[in-house]
Every structure is written in structure tokens, then in C-alpha cells.
Structure 1
Amino acid sequence: MTMDRLLHTHPQRRSGIAVWRQIAERLSEEIRNGNFAADGRLPSEGELAGRFGVNRHTLRQAVQSLQDEGLVRVERGRGMFVQHELLDYPLTRRTRFTENLQRQGLLPSQHLLTAHAEAASEKVARELRIETGERVLKIENLSEANGQPVSVMTAWYPAARFEGLLEMLQEGASTTAMLQRLGLEDYVRAESRVTSQMPSEETARLLKQPATRPLLCVASIDADLEGRPVKYGETLFCGDRVQLSVSMGDTR
């Protein structure tokens, strides 16, 4: 059925099924068919009421049903949006963004936002076990799954150990591959600390979400097999698109 025909097809009031239920079923079908895949935004409440020839009370019953099923979410002042299926992001000894997504049949992509050398702040120095003011390499990436933004990650590496890393970024190789070329054969996640925080306006823009929606923040330390920190990272995940899972006793 074409969208044009859907726009002019009203529920049958004598079909034996409540009108709001018919509306909910039709919108559910359109959501599952990807009709709102472009940005996930549904038409406004008034537009949907007019489309189906019902009052707003009836339309709201249908929307509430879709919310209860986890198919849509309503954001005050912004409208109604398709509730995307949550991306499962495991936090294990070998947490790798690309591998995490590929195991779920998703296409990972990363976009470099910033990359430069700077003096280590007191916090970064403490996490990397180096002196405050020592030179570090700061890299910030926007990560996507199937083209949908899921996180913004900022990472700091000790420059003394990874000279040349910034230049390698232009080649598009994975972080693991670049570190191996610089002499780090393997590394593991030594620590992950999960908190929540509100996004800045810039982070909200990058993640295409309202600035009023909280983020999941993972502060992490990666270390070589001798226990020396090689990276300190802070990753901000979309709270409504990602669920973090912690694997206890992971041996990979």
C-alpha cells in the first residue's frame, strides 16, 4: 500500500476493533516497514489526527499503546520518534568498538573530530600514571552503527610511547592495528567506570539528540599485558540507543 493511499484511508468505525487500536496497528506496521527511517520522527499529533479523521483523544490512545509496546517515544516540545532497538555494548577485558558491532550484524563507522598533542591535565596524568603536564595525544571520534550516531569518545595516549599515532590516523586503520604497528602487541580493559551526565549542546548535536536527554558515560583505562596504562578514555553513549552489559569473569 502506498503512503499516498495510507494518508487517505481512515479506520472503519464498525469493524469490531476500537478505532485507536486500528490506528496503533497501522502505525506499528509502518514503523516496522521503515516508513519513518529517515530521522525517526513521526508526523505531529495534529497531522496524525487529521490523517485518520479522529480527535486527539483517540489519537493519544493509539500513541500510548505504541509507547507501551516500546515502539515510539514522545519528547516534550519535539514530537514523537521511533524508539530504535537498543544496541548491546559489552564491557569486557577486550572491549573493541568495531568487533562489538560486527558481532551483532551492524556496520561500524568512526569519524575523526579532533587529534592533537597537549599537556596532560592532572586527571589524565593520574589515569595514565604519568606526570602532570607530560605530553599526551588526544583523539576524539564520533562512532556510528549503521549510520546512526551512538557515541562520542575522547581518548588520551602517552605520547612518549606512541609517537606517530596522529599521523597514522589519516590512513583509516583500526586503533588496534595502529597500536600494534607502534609496538603494542596486545592490550586489555583494566577498568570501566559507568556514570550518567547531561550532554553539552555540541555533544547533543553530534549525537542528534536533545540536550535534555542524559548520556551514559564510560571512563575507561586500557593497559598492556604488564598492567601499564596505554589509554585513558571517556565515551559518551546515547542513553536511549545503547545498553551497556558487563561480562563477569570474561576470559577473552
Structure 2
Amino acid sequence: MHRDRFYLSDRIRMYIENSHLEGGGRLPSNEELAERFKVQKGTVRAALERLKEEGIVYSVKGVGTFAAEKKILRHMERFESFSQMAQENGSTVTTKLLSCRVIPAGNALTEEFGLTPRSDITETVRLRSVDREAAALEISYIPVCIAPNLQTKPLTGSLYRLLEEEYGIHLIRGKQTMSVRAADAREAGILNCSRGDALAVMEMRAFDENGVKVEYACSLTRGDRCRFTSILRMEEDYEAGSDW
């Protein structure tokens, strides 16, 4: 039963995608799903519960089960912009520049980039909306010595493309870490969610072809608007047939 519900939940997820059910689109009844996939109704209920936990579907008591709004699929192993990720999901992204200013790097950012004392850094804060709904708050730091006058450039598109076109900086490698925390009052106000709602916190460090750290960024994404995927590979010294 445990294995069956995981298998069935993946099949129902594929059904939702292949049927192009938009947010609010109604799924067939549990009885119809059981007949379609040749399983017991109890397995259908268990599979739908798993999809509810993942935010793929939601239920209205006495009415039925519905497809939830699309989530941004973020590939943990790929170096891509927020816009690229959203477009792959068939969504439309708009960007609102909240602030862009040159500030003293301070101790933490001076150490982060290996800068000299009293260095300046460009801080950019942008709000990303997906299909007209606030989805992510992005804060980016780039040393002024790497990208001078960045605050005068158009910053509502891809920052990575801008760095390449305006400064000849080609980013080829990134390191990111993820954590989850509750939204504070200010973040909730910007992201149009409730204080205490879950935020996926992505910290990113981007490097150019010479290994120079170009950007440190932090992205706060509403937990109900994103999901994450990653390709897992066995270590080279993994012995085939050994227990996990």
C-alpha cells in the first residue's frame, strides 16, 4: 500500500499535467480514478493525500478534488534564472524593482567576496510575480569593482544576461543552499502571504569562468508557489548490490 500510493501519486500528477488542468480544475472522482488506474479506492485516497501535502491538489469537502495553482519547478542542480525556471513551467514572470543602491560592503560581505576594506557593493531587491501573483523576493549583492554603475542599468529582466551583455561576465558555476523559515511581517506584506507562512530560502553564490565570485544572492520564495527537484547520482565507489 505504501509503495502503491507513491506510484499512483506520480501517475495522477502526470494525468494533471497531460490533461492541462489549470488551477481550480476538477479531478475525476475517487471512484473514477480507481477505475482508470485499476487500483483500490483506499490507494487513491492515500495518493491524493500525498499530493495535497505537496501542494499539487486540494480538496473541498463535499465537492471534490481540484488541481492547485502551478508551482515553479526549481532544479537544484542547474544554473538558471528565475525567469527561465518559470517559463519552462509555462508561466509568465514579471519583475518589480523595489530598490537598487550602492552601499558599504560591511564586514560580512567584505569577507564573502574577499574585498578590500571600505569597498562598495550594489544591493538589488526585486519582487518576482508569477502569473500576476507575488512569488519570490530576491536580494542580490554584486561588488561595484566587478560591475560599475550597475544601479543605472535596467534590472527588470535577467540579471545574468545583463552581466554578460554589459560587462562581459559569463557565469558558469553556482553554489546554492536551501533552508525553510517562516515569513516575518515585512516579507509577508511584500509577498502577499500570511506572517508565519513557509518561505523557501535559497542562498546562491555565482562564479565566472575564472573562478571569481561575482554574486551573492538570497531568494525568498513562497512555499506554496514552488517545488524542487534534483538529480541524484551514486558515488563512484558505490558497490553494486550493497544495501542502502
* Aligned counterpart, 2:229: 245
The CA deviation at 1:247 is 4.1
Counterpart of 1:200 (choices 168, 177, 184) is 184
Matches within 5 A, 1:104-183: 104-169=89-154, 172-183=156-167
In structure 2, which of residues 39, 58, 75 is the aligned counterpart of residue 72 of structure 1?
58
Residue among 201, 210, 229 paired with 2:213: 229
Shift of 1:132: 5.0
Q: Give the Cα–Cα distance (whole angstroms) in 2 for the partners of residues 190 and 141 of structure 1.
A: 20
Deviations 1:170-212 (A, max 9, x none): 6x44312321233234103421011112212111111111112
Residue of structure 2 in register with 1:91 after alignment: 76
Question: Does the 8 Å contact 1:140/1:152 carry over to 2?
Answer: yes
The one-letter code sitting in structure 2 at the alignment partner of 1:104 is: N
Residue identity opposite 1:95 in structure 2 = E
| Uncovered stretches (5+) of structure 1, i.e. residues with no partner | 1-28, 34-63, 75-81
Report if aligned partners of 1:116, 1:166 keep a CA contact under 8 Å in 2.
Answer: yes
SS at match of 1:169: coil
DSSP 3-state at the match of 1:117: strand
The answer to whether structure 1 residue 218 and structure 2 residue 202 are counterparts is yes
Identity %, equivalent residues: 15
Structure 2 SS opposite 1:162: coil
Give SS of 1:212's match: coil
Report the TM-score, using the length of structure 1 for normalisation: 0.64
CA distance in 1, matches of 2:68, 2:25: 11
| Alignment-derived partner of residue 6 in structure 1 | none
Aligned length: 184
Check conservation: 1:119, 1:132, Cα contact below 8 A.
no
- Give the structure with higher Rg (CA): 1
The letter of the residue matching 2:161 is A
Residue 30 of structure 1 and its aligned partner are, at CA, apart by: 9.9
> Is the contact between residue 127 and residue 221 of structure 1 (CA under 8 Å) also seen in structure 2?
no
